Amino acid sequence: MNARRKPALCPVPGAQAAVSRRRARPGGGSSGPVAQASFEGGGASDSRSGDGPRDPEAPPAPNRSVATGSLGVRARQGVCARHLQRRKASVYVTCAGVGRGCLGRPLLAALALLAALDWLCQRLLPPLAALAVLAATGWIMLSRLARPQRLPVATRAVLITGCDSGFGKATAKKLDALGFTVLATVLDLNSPGALELRACCSPRLKLLQMDLTKPADISRVLEFTKAHTASTGLWGLVNNAGQNILVADAELSPVSTFRSCMEVNFFGTLEVTKGLLPLLRHSSGRIVTVSSPAGDMPFPCLAAYGTSKAAVALLMDTFSCELLPWGVKVSVIQPACFKTEAVKDMDQWEERKRQLLANLPRELLQAYGEDYIEHLNGQFLHCLSQALPDLSPVVDAITDALLAAQPRRRYYPGHGLGLMYFIHYYLPEGLRRRFLQSFFISPYVPRALRPGQPGLTSARDVAQDPGPKPGPSPTAQ
């Protein structure tokens, strides 16, 4: 009768562990037979219930006090967890509202994206790699989205080339509205663009006639600029003037086309920049040059234009390094295809195509075919029809390069340039070439390479071919 019964197993999960911890706690609660009796299935608890002695064969009754205590703790924990979640949500909403008011939507979105990237990196990458990715991404995003510090306009003067139309005319208007003293060069003082600037801008804007292929015009503009900015100094130079004469394969393009593009886009820009460097060094000013992605990537049929733009972009990178001790900052604008006045003028492209066909050597015309040139011209005109009509991204980039405390070395205004540069720098060469061809001008097989088509495929064929019979030229048809 005095033999002890084994303690009953508590059916509530965790209750048996709680019993064991209570028994093992030193000096905590009751000990000895009293404590054991309070946790056994019978004993004192049964006698207090008034039900009399229990049947030894009956299963032990569950310890309701332990079960109730465990469920109560869990309920309280659930309530606390839900309360904590609500508090966190309210804190997040408050922080979002404050961040939106103080930082603005772009920066707040960047911080949210950075938090999501942090969560993803912690689960997919090792700690050091996750930290490196997070730090690099955060620096790039915040440096691009943070509001840049702008310099005051005050009495700053700036020279802009090529203001007859397009980016130059739009930039001259905006800088004049901001309070700059603008010296705008044009090819013709009586052109529609020059008359528009004279009519809508303030008296601070001065129109100067200059042809970048004529050294006398350049010298006259340099002398006027030095005299006109003697008291205020010259803050900025915007090299905007440029030209693209022809769209054709490099073999089909005359050498004169390459020389003409280099004269305007490279040598003219070089001469103006060198002539104004003493003024820009004195003011620790800015040089902003409008280039093109065609100078970075081998676009088909833009060999002459792309070569000149590549040369001027490399020249500006060199100036950026050499003028750094003087405090002169150099920026290059690489815009997408925008619908300027030169792009809108479809008649000039048709006339240049006719001139190319009229002056093309007979051998090349027979090897490539007139339809090949017609196809290239049609593809190019279709690409121009898809150009962006709003010039403000380019104008804003030029303005930022002039006024930002820390301007960028490169600006890429326009849509689609990020994907284009990513493909160019990171994908294999075959994919890059295929993408450029499909993006700009799709490939078209020259006549001599088409199966079953007449064409000249060797020098012997050229020598034996008597040439076309006398008749009307292709341009007359």
Measured between alpha carbons, how far is 190 from 208 in angstroms, rounded to an integer? 11
Would 355 be classed as within a structural domain? yes
What pLDDT, on the 0 to 100 scale, is given for residue 107?
64
Let me know whether 185 and 70 are in one domain.
Answer: no
- Could you tell me the residue range of the domain that residue 88 belongs to? 64-98
Q: Check whether residue 318 and residue 370 sit in a common domain.
A: yes
Shared domain check, 437 and 374: yes
Residues 400 and 291 in one domain: yes
- Statement to judge: residues 232 and 245 lie in one domain: yes
Q: Are strands 236-239 and 206-209 parallel, antiparallel or unpaired?
A: unpaired
Q: Which residues contact 44 (CB under 8 A, 6 or more apart)?
A: 34, 37, 38
Residue 186's nearest CA partner among 205, 169, 167, 203 is: 169
Residues 6+ apart with CB under 8 A from 157: 180, 181, 182, 183, 228, 229, 232, 233, 234, 235, 236
Instruction: List pLDDT tens digits, range 53-83.
Output: 555 555 555 555 555 555 565 666 566 656 6
pLDDT along the chain (477 residues), means of 10: 48 49 48 42 43 55 53 60 58 52 61 76 79 77 65 88 93 94 94 93 94 95 94 93 88 93 96 96 96 89 93 96 96 91 77 89 91 87 83 94 92 87 85 76 80 51 40 35
In a domain? residue 238: yes
The answer to whether position 17 is within a domain reads: no
The answer to the question of residue 2 being in a domain is no
For residue 475, is it within any domain? no
Query: What's 451's DSSP letter?
Result: T
> 161 and 77 in one domain?
no
Q: Where are the beta strands (DSSP E) in 165-221?
A: 181-186, 206-209
| CA 261/CA 307 separation, integer angstroms | 9
Catalytic residues, by residue number, are 305
Q: How many domains does the chain have?
A: 3
126 within a domain of the structure (yes/no): yes
Are residues 362 and 341 both part of a single domain? yes
Instruction: Tell me the residue ranges of DSSP E strands in 56-123.
Output: none
> Do 301 and 431 fall into the same domain?
yes
pLDDT of residue 404: 92
Same domain flag for 279 and 325 = yes
Closest CA to 162 of 184, 142, 130, 136: 184
SS3 call for 171: helix
- The CA-atom distances, in angstroms, between 327 and each of 270, 282, 284, 285, 320 are 19, 9, 5, 7, 10
Q: Are 240 and 332 in contact (CB under 8 A)?
A: no
pLDDT for position 321 = 96
Return phi, psi of residue 331, to 5°: -130, 150
> Tokens standing for 361?
């050597």
Q: What is the domain-level CATH number for residue 442?
A: 3.40.50.720
pLDDT reported for residue 458? 38
pLDDT at res. 94: 55
Residue 459 lies inside a defined structural domain of this protein: no
Amino acid 48 reads: R
Query: Are 357 and 375 part of one and the same domain?
Result: yes
Determine the pLDDT at residue 417.
85
User: Does 309 lie in the same domain as 284?
Assistant: yes
Residues 132 and 164 in one domain: no
Whether 33 is covered by a domain: the verdict is no
End-to-end CA, the chain: 127
